[in-house]
Amino acid sequence: MSTGYSPEEMRRYWREHSRIWHDLDRTHDPEGLTNVCFAGAPLWLNRFASRCQIRTFLSLSESLGGLSGRRVLDVGCGVGRWSRLMSGFGAKVTGIDLQSETLRDNRTSMQGCRFVEMGAESLAFASKSFDLATSVTVLQHLPDEIQNAAITEIRRVLVDGGAFLLLEGTKDRGAAVFSHREDWWCAKARAAGFELERSEHYDFAPLIYGLKLVALKLRSAGGANGGRPAEAEQYASRMREGLEARGLPRKVYRMLLHAATLASYPIEPAMMRLAPAGWAHHVGLLLRAV
């Protein structure tokens, strides 16, 4: 029996996620990272995750040249972090997502961009409408059976020679996460009409993931239930509690996780240079439409 949500369950999950997380305290979390990184995780952990993403995104985008005047599709735009960034470089950005409340907020705060509620697997745009597509840890939240459709649709709306900047997970699997190894993402992209131009591996963070692994094993030893997860709406709501903390004294776990996160800032650049690619939890791919 599958332990992951179906496409319809994932749509319900994102509706509930949007309802819970769109109205963040932007004084405390100005970038809205709690919505788009690890929901329910401490802000200091989400800032580390965001830093890893930004470093990789900017590094890969150097190969694109200038963005001024380019038509960009931001797939799974969330709170609009990447839309805002690319619009600042002069791009004409259209962001799509399933979070209706979040999109409404984006339209108010980023009037220079267009935001549309839409799923990645069925894009309501004409073929060859965009010069560049970006997607940061979005396709990994599409059930396996519709990931291919999303990649094919993204290729369809790109001009020949256009680029697809994709950041995705390579290890995690769960109720709402459907990651794959780098070679899987590359194979599916080739089948849809892309060629790999560059790749970068990031998010090694051995201290953070080592601690999470210990927490998971202790939860399992304590009798945590397996099998099918809770209903999508309940699962989204439980994120406020921080799922990794279940079964452990929250205060002690958070203290250890904070220490591991702080130590990861100087460790991560060295891991990116020296560690085997297979140790990374995420990969960034710059794909070219052929």
22 three-state secondary structure: coil
Q: Which CATH superfamily is domain 7-289 in?
A: Vaccinia Virus protein VP39 (3.40.50.150)
Confidence of residue 104 (pLDDT cuts 50, 70, 90): very high
Banded model confidence at residue 224, pLDDT cuts 50, 70, 90: low
Query: How would residue 1 be classed by pLDDT, with cut points 50, 70 and 90?
Result: very low
Ordered strands of the 158-169 beta sheet: 114-117, 92-97, 71-75, 130-136, 158-169, 282-289, 194-202
Computed from CA positions of residues 172, 176, 182, 187, in that sequence, does the dihedral angle turn out positive or negative?
positive
**Buried b or exposed e, range 215-231, using 16+ CB within 10 angstroms:** beeebeeeeeeeeebee
Q: Are 60 and 82 in contact (CB under 8 A)?
A: no
185, amino acid identity: W
When pLDDT is averaged across residues 251-260 and rounded to a whole number, the result is 91
pLDDT digits (tens, 9 = 90+) for 53-101: 999 999 999 999 999 999 999 999 999 999 999 999 999 999 999 999 9
Convert the pLDDT of each residue in 110-134 to its tens digit.
Answer: 999 999 999 999 999 999 999 999 9
- For the chain, the domains span 7-289
pLDDT higher than 80, residue 271: yes
Tokens standing for 194? 């892309």
Q: Residues 120-134, buried b or exposed e (16+ Cβ, 10 A)?
A: bbebebeeeebbbbb
String of DSSP letters for 262-282? HHHHHHHHHHHHHS-GGG-SE
Q: What percent of the chain has pLDDT over 90?
A: 76
3-state secondary structure 122-189: CCCCCCCCEEEEEEECCHHHCCHHHHHHHHHHHHHHEEEEEEEEEEEECCCECCCCECCCHHHHHHHH
How far is residue 265's CA from residue 278's CA, in Å, rounded to a whole number? 20
Assess contact for 82 and 136: CB atoms under 8 A. Answer: yes
